[in-house]
Amino acid sequence: MPEHLELPVRYCSMHAAEEGRFRHGEKLLRLRTDRTAFVLVDVWEVRTPGETSYAGLGSFFRRARKITEERIKPALQAAREAGLLVVHAPTDYVAVKYPQHRRLEQELGISPREPEERDWPPPDFVRERWREFDEDRYFVGFYEVDRRRRELTYIPDVVEPSEDEYVVSSGRQMNEVLKRHGILNLIYVGFATNMCLIDKPGALREMGHRRGYRTVLLRDCTTAIENQNTVGELLMTKIWTEWVEMVAMAYTATSEDFIRACKGNSP
């Protein structure tokens, strides 16, 4: 196992005076393997055939499944062989199904959900506001169908957590795990580029911006939820990846370079 990962990464260089001259910059990161973790955010699937189209997201789930099998699976295997700490960070209702999470919750005494710290707007208003948005986005009665979908949602077998890996459901749980292991660098994969990978607990915004870890996104190990104007060229995925670089939320790299680094091969 290598003591360091020598990983070529990309970022947004904004040295020029005009936006039209902003460009990709590249550098080589040298990361200690004992200070680096591999993090899977919202890598999950609905186990029953046909249920993946519950909100018109069948094409997204098919694309995510392909990426999981062809890109994330070999990257995860390389991370394991290199001795990196592995953290699975699915949505909380998925995490609680796994014994690794139940053990961690009991050990840390930290709730599966982030604590609510607000008293305004009123909770009833907030719940109805979310219902209104979700029924506009999806369909009337979405919550009832989604309740069934949550029961059928699991981490895919091809990247199922090992017995000694962590399954977390909150940023507080994740930060405590990383602190105990002395982790400073986080390699991210998962979904969706423009939603959960950015904003869910333990994802890029919290860990990169708010907590200050060094973060790297494997850009071929993610995809965004697209729309009719973007799906043909996967423009949401491309733009949000570049946005992550631009706001210094994370460097980006390829899974091929990451796997090479895990094997101790210099670029």
pTM of the model: 0.94
140/67: higher pLDDT: 67
State pLDDT tens for residues 92-125. Answer: 999 999 999 999 999 998 877 766 677 889 989 9
Amino acid in position 154 = Y
pLDDT in tens, 163-190: 999 999 999 999 999 999 999 999 999 9
**Are residues 193 and 240 in contact, defined by beta-carbon separation less than 8 angstroms?**
yes
Rounded distance, CA 41 to CA 241, Å? 15
If you write DSSP's letter for every residue of the chain in order, what string do you get?
--SEEEEEEEEEE--SSSGGG-EEEEEEEEEEGGGEEEEEES--EESSTTGGGTTS-HHHHHHHHHHIIIIIHHHHHHHHHTT-EEEEE--HHHHTTSHHHHHHHHHHT--SSPPP----S-HHHHHHHHHHHHHHHS-TTHHHHHHHHHHTEE--GGGPPPTTSEE--SHHHHHHHHHHHT--EEEEEES-TTTHHHHSTTSHIIIIIIS--EEEEETTS------TTTTTTTHHHHHHHHHHHHTTS-EEE-HHHHHHHHTT---
The pLDDT tens digits for 44-94 are 988 775 554 555 678 999 999 999 999 999 999 999 999 999 999 999 999
Torsion of CA 205, 219, 4, 82, to 10 degrees: 100
Q: How far apart are CA 49 and CA 46, in angstroms?
A: 8
Q: Is the pLDDT of residue 248 over 90?
A: yes
User: Which structural domains are found in the chain, ordered by start?
Assistant: 4-112+154-262 (3.40.50.850)
Residues 204, 244 contacting (CB under 8 angstroms)? yes
- Give tens-digit pLDDT for 204-227: 999 999 999 999 999 999 999 999
